[in-house]
Amino acid sequence: MVDDALYFATQSGQAISLDAETGKQLWAFDPFSGTAGERRPVVNRGVAYWEGKSQVKCGDQEIIADRRIFYVTPDARLFALDPATGKPCKGFGKSGAIDLREGVASEWPELEYGDTSPPAIYKDLVITGSAVQEFPSKGPSGAVRAFNVQTGKLVWRFDTVPKPGEFGHDTWEGDGWKDRSGTNAWGPISVDVENGMVFLPVGSPSYDFYGADRKGEGLFGNSLVALKADTGKLVWHYQIVHHDIWDYDLPAQPVLMTVRRTGTEIPAVAEVTKTGFVFVFDRLTGKPLFPIEERPVPRSQVPGEATWPTQPFPLKPPALARISVTRDEITTVTPESRKYCLQTFGSILPGRIFDPWSLTLQLEIPGTLGGANWSGASFDPSSGYLFVNTSDLGVVGEMEEQPASSPEAYLWSSKWGTYARFWDDQHYPCQQPPWGALNAVNLNTGEIAWQVPLGVVDALEAKGIPKTGIYNLGGSIVTAGGLVFIGATADHRFRAFDAQTGKELWVTKLEFNGHATPLTYLGEKTKKQFVVVAVGAGGNIGDDTSGPTALAAYSLFPKGESSPAQVKLQAQLEKIPAGPAREPPEINPSLPAPPQPVPLSHRRHVAAGMTCDNCHQLSKNRKNMQIPGVTECMACHQSVMKTSPAIQKLAQLQKEGQQLSWIRVYQLPKFVFFSHQKHLDAKVRCEVCHGMAGDRDVLQQERDISMVSCINCHKLRKASFSCGLCHNIGF
């Protein structure tokens, strides 16, 4: 947020500016305007801002007050935009952009290259990391580069895989360094302006899970690297994982802070990790501020692999995430979950950190999502507390030998595919809760100040099992007023905690997951403190792959005062034509029945004694009724009507592992959030909204489900019809 305007980028490549106090769009820039075809969405974690003096001004402003917004598009172009208009800056690269592929990915036009994190800014330099493929092992370089903010010309380059004659080259055996991909700073880079340093969180070399062609420690893979910001020269480094085969990238932005030791203030940097460890160093020298031990770890037995014999374990702070799990620690949240986990994974227990992958199924914990992840940590300078959200979610897999012509001799996979999680068929992790936590670490002492479960599972809470925590992706912020705000969790929530005690003070429901880091600022006009978080699908967790996207802004309002959003929507609600208090009326004539993949008679199922909930079960979030798939149908029809052509088609689909593509008869707009559970609790019969489906051989929409119908039905039952029940309206 700069001068009362918000700036952000979308997964489709747009850059957008909004009024920070009203949410009104000021401008939108589309780098693909006028081009046809579907866009591949790419993660974008934000934009960067620069201001200063320039002889090559961006827009119409005076030279003495040049300002620019920098961001990277999905096709790896670094744009410089005028913050006032969103137009590309004159004189920067070609038409306001430079192609980041040039010089690092030119020889690999078909392989992935981009930058998913915002560029870093130091004086008149814009510094970029990269996102590259994790397979195959050879491909675009992960070099970190600095460009002139005015012209886009390259100023320096740091090779994260050292070339012959460079420091660290001897940590790669033979030609293991050559054309090595990965080893990239895909997480956000930190800048120490006062000391003229930048800090890189470097990821693992490719291929992530098998390193027979990259034997050795492999610098600067999985290393925290400190460089001189004006030249890119190495100051110090520390390798946090040696010869990584677990995808334990350094994902998080290094946190710069000052810690206190025996009355002395020390400039420090902390790196949180997927392993759940927190590493803390003197920012200027790289000296660890808490002892770190190199401990022996098991060696790989996979042919060709040569894992490193030791790994670093910090003695303080303690691991913030689970680093082992035994059979005694298997979940007991439900009998079904325990049975599934023991039957599926009991034979591979125990699991622990740094066990090398083998030729049979194995468990690694923490998994590829951590521990901590790209969301990093926030720091309170008054208390010395570092706030870190972590997940306890293991990963399972095995090494599978590949044909001789393959890029790698072995690939990591499982019968569930790659990145298979240590969870049951409901995606409940297989060890006992908590499954996600918010941690406060006192960096002055290295002790954990407090830990609380972060997140809930609504279906388990309904059964009396609260505070399980849940896996999460997205960061926290801490305020001078002693609040920690965080979304992150896979439960559609946004929360505030007491920074001193960890007590949850406030929680609200989002229309989707807040897999982002919040932003807070004071509005100049309203004098209100705002907290804004991005909401949407994805996050690489596996749940909620599609849904609404939004920016949600919150602020405190004095008692008795309504938010502008509430006042506006309530006024619109009052304009809805008044109607009688009644259930949704029938549509006359009914809408045409959509074609279904196989004929299905609800009448025959009801006549056989079945009820709605025999086939339509509540989803995990307790909001939606699920449509049965092939497996559910064939549970009965293995023996019932098995000679029917429709059932034979179902049996063939099940055999081939295919699914049915049912067409929903009743569809609500995406901006309406409807809870079946609430209506069931209110004893609203299915027929109220769906008509007499039990009498029909063919289903078609018979009832009106417009907003007017819903409001009149609520009037009939004396239920609330506040806007916020069905829509996210900002209060």
What residues contact 94, with CB distance under 8 A and at least 6 apart? none
Helix (H) or strand (E) holding 16: strand 15-19
Is the confidence at residue 332, as pLDDT, over 50? Answer: yes
Q: How many domains does the chain have?
A: 1
* Rounded CA separation 601/563 (Å): 49
687: left (phi over 0), alpha (psi -120 to 50) or beta: alpha
Q: Return the percentage of the chain with pLDDT > 90, whole number.
A: 66
**Dihedral of the alpha carbons of 717, 719, 723, 724, in degrees to the nearest 10:** -140
Mean pLDDT, rounded, for 214-220: 97
Q: Which residues of 464-501 are buried (b: 16+ CB within 10 A; e: fewer)?
A: eeeebbbbbbbbbbbeeeebbbbbbbbbbbbbbbebee
Of 3-17, 144-158, 632-646, which gets the smallest average pLDDT? 632-646
* Rounded CA separation 724/511 (Å): 11
By the 8 A CB rule, do 283 and 326 touch?
Answer: no
* Rounded CA separation 364/353 (Å): 6
Domain that holds residue 721: 602-725
Is the confidence at residue 389, as pLDDT, over 90? Answer: yes
Largest CA distance in the chain: 84
Q: What pairs with residue 448 in β-bridges? A: 441
Is the confidence at residue 645, as pLDDT, over 60? Answer: yes
- 692 occurs within a structural domain: yes
Work out the burial of residue 571: count CB atoms within 10 Å of its CB; fewer than 13 is exposed, 13-18 middle, 19 or more buried.
Answer: exposed
> Considering the chain, what is the average pLDDT of its residues?
91
- 422 occurs within a structural domain: no
- 232 occurs within a structural domain: no
Helix (H) or strand (E) holding 452: strand 447-453
Give pLDDT tens digits for 424-465.
Answer: 999 999 999 999 999 999 999 999 999 999 999 999 999 999
Helix and strand totals (H; E) in the chain: 10, 39
Instruction: Give the pLDDT score at 575.
Output: 67
- What are the φ and ψ backbone dihedral angles of 591, each rounded to 5 degrees? -70, 150
Is the confidence at residue 669, as pLDDT, over 80? Answer: no
- What are the φ and ψ backbone dihedral angles of 633, each rounded to 5 degrees? -65, -45
Question: Which residue is it, tokens 């130091």?
Answer: 122
- 681 occurs within a structural domain: yes
What residues contact 175, with CB distance under 8 A and at least 6 apart? none
* Rounded CA separation 553/559 (Å): 19
Instruction: Give the pLDDT score at 124.
Output: 95
Give pLDDT tens digits for 537-572.
Answer: 766 675 555 677 899 999 987 666 766 666 766 676
Of 237, 234, 220, nearest in space to 185 by CA: 220
Q: C-alpha angle with apex 690: 544 to 640, nearest 5 degrees?
A: 80
- 623 occurs within a structural domain: yes
Instruction: Give the pLDDT score at 643.
Output: 85
Mean pLDDT, rounded, for 340-368: 96
Give pLDDT tens digits for 486-545.
Answer: 999 999 999 999 999 999 999 998 888 999 999 999 999 988 899 999 998 766 675 555
Residue 636: both structure tokens together: 């009965």
- 627 occurs within a structural domain: yes
- 312 occurs within a structural domain: no
- CB count in 10 Å sphere of residue 661: 7
Residue 161: both structure tokens together: 């895989």
Query: Pairing state of beta strands 154-158 and 144-148?
Result: antiparallel
C-alpha dist (Å) from residue 666 to 359, 585, 590, 659, 705: 48, 14, 12, 20, 8
- 291 occurs within a structural domain: no
**Dihedral of the alpha carbons of 472, 478, 481, 486, in degrees to the nearest 10:** -20
* Rounded CA separation 491/713 (Å): 29
Is the confidence at residue 630, as pLDDT, over 90? Answer: no
By the 8 A CB rule, do 240 and 309 touch?
Answer: no
Give pLDDT tens digits for 60-102.
Answer: 665 557 899 999 999 999 999 999 999 999 899 999 999 999 9
622: left (phi over 0), alpha (psi -120 to 50) or beta: left
